Protein backbone atom coordinates (compact mmCIF):
# COMPACT_ATOMS: atom_id res chain seq x y z
CA UNK A 1 0.00 0.00 0.00
CA UNK A 2 1.21 3.48 -0.85
CA UNK A 3 2.03 5.65 2.18
CA UNK A 4 0.16 8.95 2.45
CA UNK A 5 0.30 11.99 4.70
CA UNK A 6 -3.10 12.79 6.20
CA UNK A 7 -3.79 16.27 7.60
CA UNK A 8 -6.53 17.11 10.09
CA UNK A 9 -7.89 20.44 11.25
CA UNK A 10 -8.85 20.73 14.92
CA UNK A 11 -12.03 22.67 15.58
CA UNK A 12 -15.13 20.91 14.34
CA UNK A 13 -13.06 18.40 12.40
CA UNK A 14 -10.97 16.23 14.73
CA UNK A 15 -12.46 17.70 17.92
CA UNK A 16 -16.19 17.75 18.46
CA UNK A 17 -17.41 21.31 18.93
CA UNK A 18 -19.88 19.98 21.50
CA UNK A 19 -17.76 17.65 23.65
CA UNK A 20 -14.29 19.11 22.86
CA UNK A 21 -13.14 15.48 22.55
CA UNK A 22 -11.91 13.32 19.70
CA UNK A 23 -14.80 10.93 18.95
CA UNK A 24 -13.94 7.26 19.52
CA UNK A 25 -14.88 6.53 15.93
CA UNK A 26 -12.30 9.08 14.71
CA UNK A 27 -9.64 7.63 17.02
CA UNK A 28 -10.36 4.15 15.65
CA UNK A 29 -10.19 5.32 12.02
CA UNK A 30 -6.97 7.28 12.59
CA UNK A 31 -5.40 4.32 14.40
CA UNK A 32 -6.25 2.06 11.47
CA UNK A 33 -4.74 4.54 9.01
CA UNK A 34 -1.58 4.76 11.12
CA UNK A 35 -1.39 0.94 11.31
CA UNK A 36 -1.51 0.94 7.50
CA UNK A 37 1.60 3.12 7.42
CA UNK A 38 0.07 6.52 6.79
CA UNK A 39 1.50 9.58 8.50
CA UNK A 40 -0.91 11.64 10.56
CA UNK A 41 -0.61 15.40 11.05
CA UNK A 42 -2.57 18.21 12.62
CA UNK A 43 -2.88 21.22 10.28
CA UNK A 44 -4.28 24.25 12.08
CA UNK A 45 -4.33 27.99 12.23
CA UNK A 46 -3.79 27.66 15.98
CA UNK A 47 -0.30 28.29 17.26
CA UNK A 48 1.64 25.44 18.87
CA UNK A 49 0.97 26.59 22.45
CA UNK A 50 -2.73 26.50 21.65
CA UNK A 51 -2.93 22.79 20.75
CA UNK A 52 -5.51 21.20 23.09
CA UNK A 53 -4.24 18.50 25.45
CA UNK A 54 -7.02 16.23 24.15
CA UNK A 55 -5.04 15.79 20.92
CA UNK A 56 -2.25 14.05 22.85
CA UNK A 57 -4.59 11.03 23.07
CA UNK A 58 -3.37 10.15 19.59
CA UNK A 59 0.24 9.78 18.45
CA UNK A 60 0.33 12.29 15.59
CA UNK A 61 3.47 12.35 13.47
CA UNK A 62 3.55 16.13 13.55
CA UNK A 63 1.85 19.47 13.75
CA UNK A 64 1.60 22.23 11.14
CA UNK A 65 0.56 25.27 13.18
CA UNK A 66 0.09 29.00 12.98
CA UNK A 67 -1.18 28.95 9.39
CA UNK A 68 2.01 27.28 8.19
CA UNK A 69 4.48 29.27 10.29
CA UNK A 70 5.55 26.35 12.52
CA UNK A 71 6.08 22.70 11.57
CA UNK A 72 7.00 19.92 13.98
CA UNK A 73 7.63 16.46 12.58
CA UNK A 74 8.29 13.62 15.03
CA UNK A 75 9.29 16.04 17.82
CA UNK A 76 11.72 17.92 15.57
CA UNK A 77 11.04 21.54 14.60
CA UNK A 78 11.38 21.51 10.82
CA UNK A 79 10.23 25.06 10.10
CA UNK A 80 9.54 28.12 12.19
CA UNK A 81 8.88 31.64 11.05
CA UNK A 82 8.64 34.51 13.54
CA UNK A 83 8.37 38.24 13.29
CA UNK A 84 11.28 40.08 14.88
CA UNK A 85 11.09 41.71 18.29
CA UNK A 86 11.19 45.24 16.83
CA UNK A 87 8.46 44.46 14.30
CA UNK A 88 6.32 42.93 17.05
CA UNK A 89 6.73 46.04 19.17
CA UNK A 90 5.89 48.23 16.16
CA UNK A 91 2.65 46.27 15.71
CA UNK A 92 1.78 46.63 19.40
CA UNK A 93 2.50 50.37 19.26
CA UNK A 94 0.31 50.75 16.18
CA UNK A 95 -2.49 48.80 17.89
CA UNK A 96 -2.42 51.30 20.77
CA UNK A 97 -2.15 54.29 18.44
CA UNK A 98 -5.14 53.14 16.39
CA UNK A 99 -7.08 51.91 19.44
CA UNK A 100 -7.26 48.39 18.06
CA UNK A 101 -7.95 45.31 20.13
CA UNK A 102 -6.18 42.14 19.10
CA UNK A 103 -3.99 39.21 19.93
CA UNK A 104 -0.46 38.45 18.79
CA UNK A 105 0.08 34.70 18.89
CA UNK A 106 3.43 33.02 19.23
CA UNK A 107 4.78 29.51 19.53
CA UNK A 108 4.99 29.63 23.32
CA UNK A 109 2.49 32.30 24.33
CA UNK A 110 0.01 34.92 23.19
CA UNK A 111 0.20 38.66 23.73
CA UNK A 112 -2.87 40.65 24.77
CA UNK A 113 -3.11 44.38 25.44
CA UNK A 114 -3.28 45.09 29.19
CA UNK A 115 -6.63 46.87 29.05
CA UNK A 116 -9.98 45.14 28.98
CA UNK A 117 -11.36 44.80 25.48
CA UNK A 118 -14.82 45.89 24.40
CA UNK A 119 -15.10 42.55 22.57
CA UNK A 120 -16.25 39.58 24.67
CA UNK A 121 -14.67 37.11 22.21
CA UNK A 122 -11.25 38.67 22.85
CA UNK A 123 -11.80 38.55 26.61
CA UNK A 124 -12.87 34.89 26.45
CA UNK A 125 -9.69 34.19 24.46
CA UNK A 126 -7.67 36.00 27.13
CA UNK A 127 -9.23 33.80 29.85
CA UNK A 128 -8.57 30.68 27.78
CA UNK A 129 -4.89 31.51 27.23
CA UNK A 130 -4.46 32.40 30.92
CA UNK A 131 -5.85 29.00 31.91
CA UNK A 132 -3.44 27.29 29.50
CA UNK A 133 -0.53 29.25 30.99
CA UNK A 134 0.52 30.85 27.70
CA UNK A 135 -0.39 34.49 28.23
CA UNK A 136 1.44 37.78 28.38
CA UNK A 137 0.15 41.34 28.54
CA UNK A 138 1.69 44.76 28.16
Question: How many domains is the chain built from?
Answer: 2
Range of the domain at 59: 5-80
56 and 113 fall within a common domain: no
According to the model, what pLDDT value does residue 59 have?
93
Q: What does each of the 138 residues of the chain score in pLDDT, given as a tens digit?
A: 789 999 999 988 899 889 989 999 999 999 999 999 999 999 999 888 888 888 988 999 999 999 899 999 998 999 999 889 899 899 989 988 998 888 888 888 888 888 888 888 888 888 888 887 776 766
Task: Give me the pLDDT at residue 7, please.
Answer: 95
The pLDDT of residue 138 = 64
Q: Identify whether residues 73 and 11 lie together within a single domain.
A: yes
**For every residue of 87-128, which 3-state class applies, written as one string?**
HHHHHHHHHHHCCCCCCEECCCCEEECCCCCCCHHHHHHHHH
**Cα separation, 31 vs 99, whole angstroms:** 48
Determine contact, residues 101/117, Cβ cutoff 8 Å: yes
Answer yes or no: do 15 and 72 share one domain: yes
Per the CB < 8 A criterion, the answer to whether 77 and 66 are in contact is: no
CATH of the domain at 50: 3.40.50.1000
Query: Is residue 94 located within the same domain as residue 65?
Result: no
Select from 114, 129, 137, 130 the least CA-distant residue to 46: 129
Amino acid sequence: MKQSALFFDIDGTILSEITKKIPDSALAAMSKAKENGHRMYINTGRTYCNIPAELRRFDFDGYLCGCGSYLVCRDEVVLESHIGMKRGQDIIDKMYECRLDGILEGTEDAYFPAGISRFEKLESSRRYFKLKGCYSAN
